[in-house]
Structure 1
Amino acid sequence: MRCDKKDLLLYAVTDRHWLNGRTLHEVVKESLDGGVTFVQLREKQLDEEHFLQEAKDLKELCSEYHVPFVINDNVELAIEMDADGVHVGQSDMEAGDVRAKLGPDKIIGVSAQTVEQAVLAEKHGADYLGVGAVFPTSSKDDATEVPFETLKAICEAVSIPVIAIGGITKENVKELAGSGICGIAVISAIYGQKEIRKASEELKAATEEILKKK
Structure 2
Amino acid sequence: MLHAISTGKQSFEQWLEVTKQIHQEADFVHIREKTWSARQLERAVQELLAAAVPPSKIIVNKGPELVRSWNLAGVHFPESNTLVFSNEAPFIKGSSVHSKTMAVQKENEGADYLFFGHIFDTPSKPGLPGRGLKQLQEITDAVSIPVLAIGGIMPERVPLCLDYGAAGAAVMSGIYDAPEPAKAVQSFRSALLKGGMT
**Normalised TM-score (structure 2):** 0.86
SS in 2 for 1:110: strand
1:121 aligns to 2:110 (yes or no): no
- TM-align CA RMSD: 2.6
5+ long unaligned stretches in structure 2: none
What's 1:12 paired with?
A: 4
| Partner residue of 1:182 out of 143, 167, 170 | 167
Q: Distance in 2 between matches of 1:112 and 1:164?
A: 11
| Partner residue of 1:156 out of 141, 157, 166 | 141
1:26 aligns to 2:17 (yes or no): yes
Deviation at 1:110, TM superposition (A): 0.8
Q: Do the aligned partners of residues 67 and 189 (structure 1) sit closer, same or farther apart at CA in structure 2, a change above 3 Å counting?
A: farther
1:42 aligns to 2:54 (yes or no): no
Q: Please tell me whether the aligned partners of residues 8 and 34 of structure 2 are also in contact (alpha carbons under 8 angstroms).
A: no
| Partner residue of 2:48 out of 46, 54, 58 | 58
Q: Do the aligned partners of residues 67 and 136 (structure 1) sit closer, same or farther apart at CA in structure 2, a change above 3 Å counting?
A: farther
**Normalised TM-score (structure 1):** 0.80
How many residues get paired? 196
Q: Deviations over 1:48-103 (max 9, x none)?
A: 2112100232255331xx75211012333333443221000111x212x1x14x95
Q: Please tell me whether the aligned partners of residues 67 and 74 of structure 2 are also in contact (alpha carbons under 8 angstroms).
A: yes
Q: Please tell me whether the aligned partners of residues 52 and 81 of structure 1 are also in contact (alpha carbons under 8 angstroms).
A: no
5+ long unaligned stretches in structure 1: 1-8
SS in 2 for 1:104: coil
1:70 aligns to 2:70 (yes or no): no
SS in 1 for 2:26: coil
SS in 2 for 1:156: helix
Opposite residue 201 of structure 1, the aligned amino acid is Q
Deviation at 1:109, TM superposition (A): 0.5
